[in-house]
Structure 1
Amino acid sequence: MEANKILKTDFLDLLFEDRNKAYGAYQLRKTYNKRITTALLITAGLLLLIFLTSFLANQLEDKGSKELKVEDVVLANIKEPEEQKPEPPPPPPPKQEPPPKVEMTKFTPPVIVKDEEVKKEDIPPEVEKLEDTKIDVISQEGIKDQGIAAPVVDEGKAVVEAPKDETNYDQTFTKVEVEASFPGGEGQWRKFLERNLNASAPVDNGAPPGSYTVQVQFIVDKEGNVSDVKALTSHGYGMEDEAVRVIKRGPKWTPAIQNGRQVKAYRKQPITFVVSEG
């Protein structure tokens, strides 16, 4: 192509120079801008249509919501609260009768005067009449003062003496409120037996297959010391001797409790040996 025509020729014409323009690619590129513009216009139209539809729908909803629905309102009959009647006053306390008057005779200190100057009320009574009469600063009629005060009894109350505790706490108890226990509880006691007990003792002594439970009794004193260990069963084959040996070599126990005091008490312990066949 000539140089003066290159500046005036479209880029697509230069690109498709000496090429088959009827193939389709040339035509697609030639109409690209037109198709893009058409697509943008159609998209904008759809968006505008959606916006207008939403706006109109909102307007219709607002108009519908402004409609008021009037209903008849029925007022319930409200009863006025009844006037609370004042509570009647408590009854007055019962009248206590005054204590009976005690007969008294006025004491007149002796004064030396003439007989005609002595007043009748100042004449002292006879000695016999003063024996059962109380002397005071005035004279008063009433009952004789016997000088005996009646005991005051407070009904409904009585003094009950607490029972005396006659328990001998130095004895060895067979039953107690809280039994003696191994330090750490039953779990630690079981571990102690498993670690120290020779489970093969009956096998070594020729015991036949089976399960053997040995009962061992011992005493735990107030300080937790173990003593008087002995077997209550007699299976033999060295089982009782082994159970007694292990319990004797154990540590101190926690003493038993009776009435809140540490006491000396018996303790029993079963130990089972199992001899398997073969």
Structure 2
Amino acid sequence: MEANKILSSDLLDLVFEGRNKEYGAYELRRRYNKRITLALIITGSVALLALIGSIIASELKPSDDGKLEIKEVTLQKVEQQEEPKELPPPPPPKPPDPPKIEMKQFTPPKIVKDEEVQEPPPAQEELKEAKIDVVSQEGIKDEGIVAPAVIDDGKGVVEEKKVEDENKIFEKVEIEASFKGGEGAWRKFLERNLNGNTPVDNGAAEGTYTVYIQFVVSKDGSISDIKPLTNHGFGMEQEAMRVIKKAPSWTPAVQNGRSVNAYRKQPITFQVTGE
């Protein structure tokens, strides 16, 4: 480019001096400012149209005068119902008082003068059908009337105390039956009277055999109802029962302060060893 044209030439012409301006880059750069201006105009127009549209829509929307309706909400009070309490049953009615028994006063006779006698004793015929007491009382004849059950102040009828069967055999007692002389004397009795060779004589194999014998010590101390609880055989149970039958009387078991019948279990061990 000539020197006198440099100052008056455009920067773009200086850059593309001597280059192919028909390629397209020259034309794109030349029109760059126009494209930017056109894009800004289009964008502004679209934004202006959107703003105008929103204003028109707000004008066409029905107005509620800016008032907001507020409704008062009241919560219902919830009360928990209490479960009805079960009342205790009424106390049983008080039984009627037992009828009064006819009684005749009779005290040991005292010898005094006739004029000093204040109340003569009842006749013997009257005493036959009346109950004798220290005071006289009118009432019905005593024909074995049973007294009523005792009431425990509304807590219930007190049952009559049942008497245990005198022949009952206890398995557990407060004080166990014992051999007279103690356990040591009982052990010596068994050792002296038992035939330890019984299983050997009957062909038992080597080993240790423990038999259990149950018997009853009666309330009078005697022994009865002897029976084996094991079955090892070879005559061991029979030998143990034979010796227990020979035992003298025992001291009986005690329950509730009285002698009772009670079970007793006795283990006896036989040992068979090789020669």
TM-score (norm 1): 0.41
